[in-house]
Structure formats: C-alpha cells, structure tokens
Amino acid sequence: MPEVVPSTEAYLMLSGTLFAVGLIGVIIRRNMITVLMAIELMMNAVNINLVAFSHRFASLEGQVFTIFVITVAAGEAAVGLAIIIQLYRLKSSINVDEASELNG
Amino acid sequence: MNVAFLVFFVVGTIAVASSILVVAMRNPVHSALFLLLTFLCVAILFVVKDAEFVAAVQVLVYAGGIMVLFLFVVMLINVRHLPDDRTLSRFWKGGVGVGLAIFLLLATVVRTGTYHDQNPNKKLLRSTASHRVRKVTNPDGSVTRKRVVRHRTVGNSEAVGMALYQDYLVPFEVASLFLLVAMIGAIVIGKRELSAPEEETSPDFILKRMEKEKEVKEAMRKEAMSA
C-alpha cells in the first residue's frame, strides 16, 4: 500500500496563498529590504509547486529545477541587496518611493 | 488522518501565518526572522513530499546564507534613523485587492483543474539510472552490443546528484557561471567610491586609510615604472 501524503491540490493551495501574500508585500511595502524579502517568499511558493508535482509524477526534474531556482534566488538577493546599499548611500533612505529619478 | 497530514496542516498554518507577519511587521529585523521561520516550515513540507535533498539545500542556502545576507544589510543600514511614519505605500488598498484577486484566480485554477494521473512508483524519486554496454552472444554465434539501463535504489540525495551531474550537467555549469556573474556584479555595485562631498562628511579614519591606499598605489606604480 502506498504511503498516503497530502494531495498535490493541498500543496498548490498553500503555494498560491504564499505567492499572494508575497505579491501583496511587494506592492504595499515601502521598505526596499522588505520588498526583497517578499520576492523571496514568492520564489519559495514556486518551489513548493515544483516539489509537489515532482512527487506526483515521481520524477526528479522538479527537484533539480528547485535547486536552480534557489541558485537564482541567491544571486538575485546578493545583487538586490548591493543595489539597496548603494541607493542608501546615495539617498540616505531605502524607501521605494524615493527612488524616482527615472520617472519621466 | 495520519502523521503526514497532521504535519502538513500544522506546518502549513505556521508557514502562512509567519509569511503574513513578514509582510505586516514594521521592523525589518522582525520581518527577517519571520521569513526564516517560513523557510524552515517550507523545508519541512519538502521532506513530507520526499525531497530531502532540496529541504537540506533550502535550510543551508535560504536559512543559512540569504537570511544572514539580509540581516547584515539591515544592520549596515541603520533602521532606527529612518523616518518610520508610514510603512505602507499609498496604493496599499489596491495592492491587497490585486493580491486577493491573484489568490482567487490561483485557487479557482487549482480547484477546477484536471491533473495528470499520479505515478504510484515513488521509488523513482530515490533511484539512479546507470547505462552500461554489454556484449550479448546471439544464438547464431554473432556478438552484438546492447545498452543496458540499470535502476538502483539509493537515497534521494544521491538520486538528485546523479540527475544533476548526468542529465543536467550543462544547466548546472551555467548556474555556476551565473553565480560568478552575480558575485562580481554585487561586488562592483556595492563598492564604495568616495565622492567630493562625501569626503567632507566621512570620518577621519576612513580618509586616512584612503590616503594611505593612494600612497601605496603611487609607490607601486613608481616601482613598476622604474623596473
């Protein structure tokens, strides 16, 4: 008898909830560090999806792609935080609304 | 109701609650700590779905690396001196609306969607496939070579490792190149170069160090010229 685990649908619902919370965070927060954290939250939601389908189809591809997504998230966090530090040096503020030089 | 369901409901509830707190907390340090809790909960959920290696990578890279990076930046940028009159953007109502709309859309898709059938052979998640060429002697005496695929049941880590190094070798190398580029980019972007107005306000020890660096560079260049 196969081991019973929570269904793929349950995982997808959880991942959708995390994704929506992350999206809300990206839109409503003004602190740039928190916005970056919300983006990490959304990437994690996608990882949950990949792992859930990897288990459903009993294929390792989902897990391999999750590792690549984690790699990209790490690089993105490093570059994003460097940009935030540079912006803080320039403006003494990490408010998203302050960075409006490209506003035409 | 078995253990896996219980773990899923408890850990999933904690994950959702702490993710909401990540967005709701005023102080970025608190947000970072709740983000850490979310990452750990997601790692447990990965274990429930037979992805032990990904769970370990999640804890090492996210909870270990990225969170330390976030906390360092929060410490570098002195949060207390920032005006914290308003933490939410002017569009916060619209943002919550968009988020709820996306959630409803995703929930509808998940509920009404039809899924491909389950693959009941979960052992594939922890088995490696190795190819070998074997000589086969046919009944008429001729010898032919036959490709044999052998499945071996091992741990999840070994299975993912073999998949990474056999089928996904090129993407793996590209990922390493990507990390190198990201590292160089982060260093170049984050490098500090003092401009004229900044020099007036920066503390003495930094200026002294900069001057000394300049002297050393000048001396090295002269040496190189004379050599």
Here the CATH number for the domain that contains residue A45 is: 1.10.287.3510
Prediction ipTM score: 0.92
Residues of A whose CB is below 8 A from B45: 11, 14, 48, 51
Question: pLDDT digit string (tens) for B46-66?
Answer: 999 989 999 999 999 998 899
**pLDDT truncated to tens, each residue of chain A (104 aa)?**
456 778 888 999 999 999 999 999 999 988 899 999 999 999 999 999 999 999 999 889 999 999 999 999 999 999 999 999 988 888 877 888 877 777 76
Could you read off the pLDDT tens digit of each residue along chain B, which spans 227 residues? 688 889 999 999 999 999 999 999 888 899 999 999 999 999 999 999 989 999 999 999 998 899 999 999 988 887 665 555 567 777 888 999 999 999 999 999 999 988 888 888 888 888 887 777 888 888 887 888 887 877 888 888 999 998 899 889 999 999 999 999 999 999 998 887 766 666 666 667 677 777 888 888 888 888 888 87
| Residue A24 domain-assigned (yes or no) | no
Q: With respect to residue A87, please indicate whether it lies within any of the assigned structural domains.
A: yes
Q: Do A67 and B57 touch (CB under 8 A)?
A: yes
Answer yes or no: is A53 within a domain. Answer: yes
* Domain-embedded: residue A19: no
Q: Which residues of A touch B100 (CB under 8 A)?
A: 20
Element containing residue B98 per DSSP (H, E):
helix B92-112
A54 domain-assigned: yes
Domain tally, chain A: 1
Say if A9 falls within a structural domain: no
Domain annotation covers residue A61: yes
The minimal CB distance from B89 to the residues A30, A56, A83 is found for: A30
CB contact under 8 A, B185 and A44: no
> What residue numbers bound the domain in which A87 lies?
30-96
Distance of CA A101 to the CA centre of its chain: 26
- Whether B121 and chain A come into contact, CB under 8 Å, resolves to yes
In a domain, A18, yes or no: no
Chain A / chain B CB contacts < 8 angstroms: 248
